[in-house]
C-alpha cells in the first residue's frame, strides 16, 4: 500500500462513518445518532491517545484527486443531511431524547467536520468546489464567514484589524460577540471596497452579502416548511452551535499571538508563530488537518493532506475538541494558555529583526 493510499484511508475512515451514521439515523432511525455522538466525543478522545499524529503528502508530488473528492462527498452529504434532519424532527415517530441526541450529533458534525471541510473548500481553485464550501457555510446561516475569512482574517491575522484574532487575556465569552459582529462588518467593508475598485456601488447585486443573507433566510424558510416550528427552532439552534464552534476554532488557534512591529516600522509577515497547532492522531484526520494551522496560514492554497507541523511551531497542550471545552471555562483556559502565549511572543520578540 502506498503512502498516498494510507493517507486517504485515514481521512476517509475518520470522517465518512460520521456522515453515514447521521444519514442512517434521519432516514431509517435507530441508535445511529447516539453512536455518532459517542464517536465524535469519547471515541475521538480515546483514539487521540493511541494513534500517532497525522502523516502528510509530499508537496513535491503531483496532487492526487482524492482530497477534493472526499471534501465534495462531505460537503454534498452535509447539504443532504440538513433537509432530511428537518423531516426527522417533524416526525412523531421519534422520541424527544432520540431527537436531542441526533441534534447534538449533527451540531458536532457541523463544527468538527463540516466547518473544517467548508473552510478547505472555499480556498480551493475550482469554482464548483469553492461554491460548495460557500453553500455549506450559507446553510449554517454563516455565509459572511466566506468573505470575512478570506478577505480579512488571512490578510490581517494577528493585528487589531482582524476581529477574529483574540487578545491576550480576553475570555472566549467576551471575544464571541466582538468577533462575530466585527467579522461581519469587516467582511462587508472588504466586499464594498472590492466593488468600489470596480466602479460599482456597494449595493450592487454582485455583493455576495446578498447571497449570504438571502441564503440564510432561505435555509430558515426551508426548515420551517419541512420541519414546522420544531424544525425552525432546531435549525436556529444548530446554527447557533455551529457559529460558537467556528468562533471557538479561531479563538483557540490564534489566542494571544500577535504580529509585532519590526525595527523599520512595518509589521512582521505572517509566520508559523501566529497560529496554535494541535497535531493529534485522530482528530486531525477528523477535522481534515485543520489543526495544522500555521502551515495553512502561510500557504492558504495548500491542500489539507499536505499540511504539516514543524518543530518549534506553537502546539496546544490538548486536542482541538478538548481545548474547545477548556476555552468555555475562562479561568481554566487562562491557567493553561496565558503563560504559553507569553513564551511564544517573547521568543518572537527576541527573533525580530
pLDDT of residue 93: 87
- pTM (whole model) above 0.85: yes
pLDDT of residue 334: 98
Look at residue 126 and tell me whether its pLDDT is greater than 80: yes
List, for residues 308-348, the tens digit of each pLDDT value.
998 899 999 999 999 999 999 999 999 999 999 999 999 99
pLDDT of residue 143: 97
pLDDT of residue 171: 98
Give residue 77's Cα distance to chain centre.
Answer: 17
φ, ψ (nearest 5 deg) of residue 146: -60, -45
**Could you tell me what percent of the chain has a pLDDT over 70?**
100
**Could you tell me what percent of the chain has a pLDDT over 90?**
85
Could you tell me which residues are beta bridge partners of residue 267?
A: 261
At what angle are helices 66-90 and 127-139 packed, to 10 degrees?
A: 30
pLDDT of residue 52: 83
Look at residue 60 and tell me whether its pLDDT is greater than 80: no
Look at residue 77 and tell me whether its pLDDT is greater than 90: yes
List, for residues 127-172, the tens digit of each pLDDT value.
999 999 999 999 999 999 999 999 999 999 999 999 999 998 999 9
324 SS3 class: helix
pLDDT of residue 336: 97
Mean pLDDT value of segment 279-283: 93
C-alpha cell at 274: 501566529
Mean pLDDT value of segment 273-285: 95
Look at residue 294 and tell me whether its pLDDT is greater than 80: yes
Could you tell me which residues are beta bridge partners of residue 84?
A: none
pLDDT of residue 61: 76
Least confident piece of the model among 57-66, 108-117, 230-239, 278-287: 57-66
Q: What number of other Cβ atoms are within 10 A of residue 182's Cβ? A: 17
pLDDT of residue 263: 83
Look at residue 10 and tell me whether its pLDDT is greater than 90: yes
List, for residues 234-250, the tens digit of each pLDDT value.
999 999 999 999 999 99
pLDDT of residue 6: 86
Cα-based distances in Å from 314 to 179, 236, 292? 22, 35, 10
Amino acid at each position: 500500500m502506498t503512502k498516498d493510499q494510507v493517507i486517504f484511508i485515514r481521512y476517509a475512515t475518520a470522517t465518512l462513518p460520521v456522515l453515514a451514521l447521521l444519514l442512517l439515523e434521519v432516514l431509517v432511525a435507530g441508535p445511529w445518532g447516539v453512536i455518532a455522538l459517542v464517536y465524535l466525543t469519547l471515541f475521538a478522545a480515546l483514539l487521540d491517545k493511541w494513534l500517532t499524529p497525522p502523516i502528510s503528502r509530499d508537496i513535491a508530488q503531483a496532487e492526487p484527486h482524492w482530497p477534493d473528492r472526499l471534501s465534495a462527498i462531505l460537503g454534498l452529504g452535509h447539504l443532504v443531511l440538513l433537509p432530511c434532519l428537518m423531516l426527522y424532527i417533524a416526525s412523531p415517530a421519534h422520541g424527544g431524547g432520540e431527537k436531542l441526541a441526533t441534534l447534538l450529533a449533527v451540531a458536532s458534525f457541523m463544527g468538527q467536520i463540516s466547518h473544517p471541510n467548508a473552510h478547505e473548500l472555499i480556498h480551493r481553485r475550482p469554482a464548483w468546489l469553492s461554491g460548495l464550501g460557500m453553500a455549506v457555510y450559507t446553510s449554517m446561516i454563516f455565509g459572511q464567514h466566506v468573505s470575512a475569512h478570506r478577505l480579512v482574517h488571512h490578510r490581517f491575522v494577528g493585528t487589531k484589524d482582524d476581529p477574529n484574532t483574540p487578545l491576550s487575556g480576553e475570555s472566549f465569552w467576551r471575544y464571541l460577540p466582538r468577533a462575530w459582529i466585527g467579522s461581519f462588518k469587516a467582511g462587508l467593508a472588504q466586499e464594498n471596497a472590492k466593488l468600489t475598485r470596480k466602479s460599482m456601488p456597494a449595493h450592487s447585486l454582485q455583493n455576495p452579502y446578498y447571497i449570504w443573507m438571502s441564503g440564510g433566510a432561505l435555509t430558515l424558510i426551508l426548515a420551517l416548511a419541512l420541519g414546522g416550528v420544531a424544525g425552525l427552532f432546531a435549525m436556529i439552534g444548530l446554527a447557533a452551535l455551529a457559529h460558537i464552534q467556528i468562533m471557538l476554532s479561531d479563538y483557540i488557534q490564534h489566542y494571544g499571538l500577535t504580529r509585532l512591529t519590526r525595527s523599520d516600522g512595518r509589521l512582521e509577515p505572517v509566520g508559523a508563530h501566529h497560529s496554535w497547532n494541535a497535531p493529534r492522531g485522530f482528530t486531525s484526520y477528523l477535522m481534515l488537518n485543520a489543526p495544522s494551522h500555521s502551515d495553512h496560514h502561510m500557504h492558504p492554497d495548500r491542500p489539507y493532506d499536505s499540511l504539516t507541523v514543524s518543530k518549534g511551531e506553537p502546539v496546544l497542550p490538548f486536542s482541538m475538541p478538548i481545548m474547545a471545552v477548556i476555552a468555555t471555562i475562562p479561568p481554566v483556559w487562562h491557567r493553561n494558555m496565558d503563560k504559553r502565549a507569553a513564551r511564544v511572543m517573547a521568543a518572537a520578540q527576541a527573533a525580530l529583526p
